[in-house]
Chains A and B, each alone.
Chain A
């Protein structure tokens, strides 16, 4: 049965159904409802909710809990995600699986609390130090976001990587009917063979991001890179919407992509054939597919709630095969369908 749910709450419930029983977090708008939902819900499912003293502590609690091989998660919004970058780098180095929900708001600095997509660089290029990557998933509807939670945990454990669900304040705050996913049975989850649980009858295990010998640390890094390569080969996801006959293809993700879907309806009614290419994995980015698409379309328009972040990856994919244009607003201002339609018209006409 479908339920009308807020984005933050739907994501939280889906995470619990995917088997998450450990949540650490710190209140920040526009995602505090997720934290509050976990505070209420975790005790009901015999899980653990802990409000930390800061996002710095949160991410380190996540580190500790992830060391034990359990499904752990947190949620935050942009300034909080910045504070977590230290721990994210350590977790990536220690190859720990965990889920981060970043409900992006306007920045930089304290910014505002309205929707934004200006943490794309931070999430996909590594906001912390070192050569690391995290898998970044960008749902565009609440249903997609809820469906994604199980997949996120599966990816995190399959590759021992961090997974960020990158959404904006709009997906966090809006309501939409959601069909909640099935419950994952706890017995389906096997304790990983690297988990720190106390060396009872086995050799002690160590989980760290550390080796002072550069050649040893290089080996660790090459192992990470090997993982990232596998993820890039196997886990790229995207959606194509009406691109077959498009004279202009819009590249957009998350909330922007769903707004663009409405624009496409408008544009086609006025005789402009517009298509949408929507990266679902922002890292790994669908370079190859976008490269192919760009051979057959003259104009590509990237639309973002930023002043141009994903467009850099779009350019890397397209090279010179078609003209790459950009339209974006940031700081919490959401481009409306009419504005985007105008931007399209300017390019086509």
Chain B
């Protein structure tokens, strides 16, 4: 049977290597969104990605782009070095919550504060995935993890950190939005946000970041369906969706 019309296909910016993510994990969806945006903007030939340490450490291989892996938390500094060396290329980091919101806070804060013209995709699933479900800086109060077995206690562990809100206070941040990908509608919204973030960089407007609330069924001990519901019911209360800074009005 001849194919008349292609209605859906794998984005060109993804490689043929199979994802290694767990069933129900949102990394795969976000990877696809990022790749589609890169394809649609026609920037694959000039895009370099900086993968993090964490479950998405393999992302540099899942994307069919020039890429590297940064040390844990250092992706914004690595991306800074690349961008300063090659200002006309598109540089993005892909980071998890342990990477960006814990060990790499200094690097992300100062990259944003410099208005570093890079894009960051921040996956927040409230837990350390790769190392086996330990407490993350974004773990919710009361949430049980392998290092908060009695539930996160604010007295001992402090509070879930809201990176998007925090970075939005910096003058160098041009666009920061928090989204999720639990429904087709949310996927479409997230894709629009990611596209805007890359456009911010293409226009040279400064730092852009999209935080995507994501699931970790394996470490949360839930089915994929349960974890989507848990994300919507619980995470969005601590991490409300929305645009936290937008300095692009009239420019994009």
Contact = CB atoms under 8 A, between A and B. Distances in A.
B60 interface: yes
Contact of A204 (B66, B74, B79, B89): B66
Given A57-B110, A60-B70, A87-B74, A24 B81 contact: yes
Contacts of A94: 68
Interface stretch (B39-47, B149-157, B190-198, B213-221): B39-47
Interface in A185-208: 196-201, 204-208
Given A64-B85, A87-B74, A206 B80 contact: no
A206 B110 contact: no
Contact of A66 (B57, B60, B81, B110): B81
Contact of A61 (B60, B67, B77): B77
Contacts, number: 126
B106 interface: yes
Nearest to B110: A53
A67 B68 contact: yes
A57 B74 contact: yes
Interface residues of A, number: 38
B162 interface: no
A70 B85 contact: yes
A52 interface: yes
Given A67-B68, A94-B68, A206-B68, A61 B48 contact: no
A208 B85 contact: no
A209 interface: yes
A65 B78 CA distance: 7
B64 interface: yes
A72 B81 contact: yes
Interface residues of B, number: 36
A99 B71 CA distance: 19
Which among A57, A60, A67, A200 has the greatest number of chain B C-beta atoms within 10 A?
A: A60
Nearest to A21: B85
Contacts of B25: none
A225 interface: no
B203 interface: no
B84 A61 contact: yes
A22 B60 contact: no
Interface in B67-101: 67-71, 74, 77-86, 89-90
A200 B85 CA distance: 17
A52 B77 contact: yes
Given A56-B106, A86-B71, A197 B81 contact: no
A54 interface: yes
Contact of A65 (B66, B70, B82, B110): B82
Contacts of B15: 204
Contact of A198 (B70, B71, B89, B109): B89
B66 A210 contact: no
Contacts of A68: 81-82, 85-86
Q: Is chain A's interface secondary structure helix, strand, loop, or mixed overall?
A: mixed
Nearest to B86: A68
Nearest to B50: A64
B232 interface: no
A60 B81 contact: yes
B68 A207 contact: yes
Interface string B212-233: 0000000000000000000000
Given A54-B106, A198-B48, A200-B45, A62 B81 contact: yes
Given A199-B45, A206-B68, A57 B82 contact: no
B229 to A, nearest CB: 33
B139 interface: no
Contacts of B106: 53-54, 56-57
B84 A48 contact: yes
Interface string B132-160: 00000000000000000000000000000
Contacts of B66: 196-199, 204-206
Contacts of B179: none
A81 interface: no
Contact of B71 (A58, A87, A201): A87
Interface of A: 22, 24, 48, 50, 52-54, 56-58, 60-68, 70, 72, 86-87, 90, 94, 196-201, 204-210
Given A60-B71, A60-B77, A198-B89, 9 more contacts: A56-B74, A60-B81, A61-B84, A63-B81, A65-B81, A66-B81, A67-B81, A87-B71, A94-B68
9 contacts: A22-B84, A56-B106, A62-B81, A64-B50, A197-B48, A198-B46, A199-B66, A208-B68, A210-B69
Interface pairs A-B: 10 shortest CB-CB:
A64-B81, A60-B77, A65-B81, A64-B78, A61-B81, A198-B46, A60-B74, A200-B45, A53-B110, A64-B82
